[in-house]
Amino acid sequence: MLYIPVIGLEIHVQLKTKSKMFCGCSNQGEYEPPNTAICPICTGHPGTLPVLNKEALLFGLRAAKALNCKIPNQAKFDRKNYFYPDLPKGYQISMYDMPIGTEGFLEFEVIGAKKSERDRARIEIERVHLEEDAAKNLHAPDGSSTLVDFNRAGSPLIEIVTKPDLRTPNEAKIFLQELRAIMRAIRVSDADMEKGQLRCDANISIRRCNDDGSVIDLTLNPKVEVKNINSFKSVERALLYEIQRQTKLYESGDVLKYDATRGWNDARGSTEEQRTKEGSADYRYFPEPDIPPLDLASLRDEVPVFELPAARRLRFVEEFGFPPADARIMVDDHDLADYAEEVVSELKEWLAALPEADGTADEIYEKHKAKLARTVSGWLLSKLGGLMSEHHVSMKNLKIDPENFAEFITLVYGNKLSSAAAMTVLTDMLLLGKDPSQIMEDRNLGQVEDADALTPVVERVMAHNPNIVAEIKDGKLQALKVLLGIVMKETEGRANPQLAEKMLKKKIAL
């Protein structure tokens, strides 16, 4: 018997506004001592009145727009009532039946899809709404006590609910990664799952299907909501685990009768039973009397338009010539993507300024785009990326400005630097912030392009290695590489290898 999973996600994204949702307290409370970023409003003192932070609303609308949602003319806040130590008011201000966005969708390429699976997915977004975050309970390791830090109470969140359109755990993971990239691109959240800025609950049920994959019965079976998922990897693992667990239950005739809630235990690699899911009736929702309904019609035009990751990736591939996998890495981090974009623009200027330039900046780049883009992404992602992680440098405090990096690429591309010398120059650029030509001069690292300067070295190397020269003359052409290696070593990697090889061949009379 074949079963296929039906997966939907509920995602919370922390908005990086300056202040909290309904008061002036700092929204950076996670970096401050416990219970210092608080006031009577966010700790729910009687008689206080919430005032909506317009920035939070605009961020929410940005997200709704980026997820292709319809933005209604009006939205309203409601009270969601429940009792828990992390909820000082005894209710959470959320949105029930009038959210800020409905009927959206997100389309993405399913990287790593198996042959039998779709390679593009379109997931419907049911709704996007705003709500305030709860405080944080901190449990003593020995279970003796629980402390509450209210710094997070009242921080703005958006909740995004998908339709159950996801078909595989891999799709769920990629959906979340795409969502993270979008939230970063529209500058509303850093959406880091490990830091709790992007949190996800996954709903999953399975249903029987025929061998060809067609569904036998369209009714959805009771679902399990999996909580405590805090990394992209655990989304995938938790869903795989649930698919296996539910399949076993159905095969043994022990079908699920009710919706259930289970928590993901990352260390054990399993889900564990939690309280039964409450229906919305249990929350006794009612309209928030202290905040008037929101007029969104007048705000829609204030929402700025951002280039979304999918469009930017396409542009990086088509306009700049980056390999698709490299474009993906760059666009996932918008600081890196902005940097790469500036490097390309500066690089065009450098190329156009070369004496051998034969056209406008754009024409020259277009003509050599594939090779130039590979040079940029290779040096940017693997070489500079490697050096940055080795020296604990982030994009934010990188001393190499795009203009200097573009000059560096021009030197590498024009064979003015051997790859060994280029690594030295790049390391100095990273640590000292100087421009590459200055470093080359200081360290005497320029490539030796001059045959007159190379002649004595080539002659000396030949004189010191008569056996190798003899082997080459005997027809062992591989030995030429050995000789060339010695020339490169003697010049500390500065000889132009093509030139040195040509000179060796000529002198040995090949």
Instruction: Name the site residues for Zn ion (rule: CB under 5 A).
Output: 23, 25, 39, 41-42
CA distance 238 to 236: 6
CA distance 427 to 181: 30
Q: Phi, psi at residue 144, to the nearest 5°?
A: -80, -25
Write the CA distances from 291 to 53, 63, 294, 315, 510, integer angstroms.
11, 22, 8, 43, 88
Only one residue has tokens 């500390």, namely: 492
Which one, 59 or 150, has the nearer CB to Zn ion? 150
**Least Å distance between CB 26 and Zn ion?**
9
> Which tokens go with 277?
């899911």
Q: Phi, psi at residue 329, to the nearest 5°?
A: -60, -45
**Least Å distance between CB 134 and Zn ion?**
14
**Least Å distance between CB 154 and Zn ion?**
6
Q: Indicate the angle between helix axes 324-332 and 169-185, nearest 10 degrees.
A: 60
CA distance 297 to 248: 50
In 15-151, which ranges are E strands? 74-75, 78-81, 91-94, 101-109, 120-132, 136-139, 146-149
Which one, 154 or 169, has the nearer CB to Zn ion? 154
**Least Å distance between CB 35 and Zn ion?**
11
CA distance 361 to 344: 11
**Least Å distance between CB 18 and Zn ion?**
13
Which one, 49 or 218, has the nearer CB to Zn ion? 49
Which one, 19 or 205, has the nearer CB to Zn ion? 19
CA distance 304 to 286: 32
Which one, 50 or 321, has the nearer CB to Zn ion? 50
CA distance 395 to 381: 12
Which one, 41 or 166, has the nearer CB to Zn ion? 41
**Least Å distance between CB 159 and Zn ion?**
21
Which one, 42 or 128, has the nearer CB to Zn ion? 42
**Least Å distance between CB 25 and Zn ion?**
3
